[in-house]
Amino acid sequence: MGMLSIPRVTRTLILLNVAVFLLQHAGSGQIEEHFALYPLGEDFRIWQLFSYAFLHSGYPHIFFNMFALYMFGGALEHFLGAKRFTWFYFVSVLTAGLSQLVMTFIEGSNEPTIGASGGVFGLLLGFAMFFPRERIMLLFPPIPMPAWLFVTAYGLIELVLGATSTQPGVAHFAHLGGMLGGYLTILWWRRGGRSGARRA
């Protein structure tokens, strides 16, 4: 699938993330200073609840996030339509950011957070709910499994890693917050009598 065949919003998000990443790593840290998500305090600004999702720490970080955005975002945008997909993604980004603020407050941390993973985990949750039987092939190990099982297992792993602080430097509860945002959005749509999919 070429870049031009990726749905419009997914393609725009990928291009924006890559453009910001290049600017971020060509500069001297000023972008992170203003747009990373800082814990509540004098460095926190309200726009950081969204802007942090366009910053990344290195090439592996942005590659895996953009690959997941490409894989799952494209399918969800085709299913939901551009407007609902945009809403779904940024609600996930917001709830991931709010979850991270709660955790940094509890932990007394002053470390900022960056990365699109919160939005991506919301997309993973949405994919599993709308396409539960779709097969997903793992990279390591290369084992196919249904989407619902993959995302359930991934969520449990994130919960264990976050609760045990096994993998410091990774915002596991932001990932779970993104999944929560995706779930609540779908629940809201379904309680309103709609599947979430666009109408013809």
Beta-carbon contacts of residue 120 (< 8 Å; ≥ 6 apart): 65, 68, 69, 72, 178
pLDDT digits (tens, 9 = 90+) for 151-175: 998 899 888 888 887 777 789 899 9
pTM: 0.90
Confidence of residue 139 (pLDDT cuts 50, 70, 90): low
CB crowding 15-30: b at 16 or more within 10 Å, else e: eebeebbeebeeeeee
Tokens 């917001």 sit at which residue?
94
Beta-carbon contacts of residue 2 (< 8 Å; ≥ 6 apart): none
pLDDT digits (tens, 9 = 90+) for 12-59: 999 999 999 999 988 767 899 999 999 999 899 999 999 999 999 989
* pLDDT for the residue numbered 25: 85
* pLDDT for the residue numbered 183: 97
Enumerate the β-bridge partners of residue 146: 135
DSSP E strands: which ranges in the chain?
A: 135-137, 144-146
Tell the CATH superfamily of the 3-191 domain. Rhomboid-like (1.20.1540.10)
Question: What is the token pair recorded at 183?
Answer: 């779930």
Lowest mean pLDDT among 91-100, 113-122, 152-161: 152-161
The rounded mean pLDDT for the chain is 89
pLDDT over 60 (residue 197): no
Beta-carbon contacts of residue 99 (< 8 Å; ≥ 6 apart): 118, 173, 174, 176, 177, 178, 180
Amino acid at 86: T
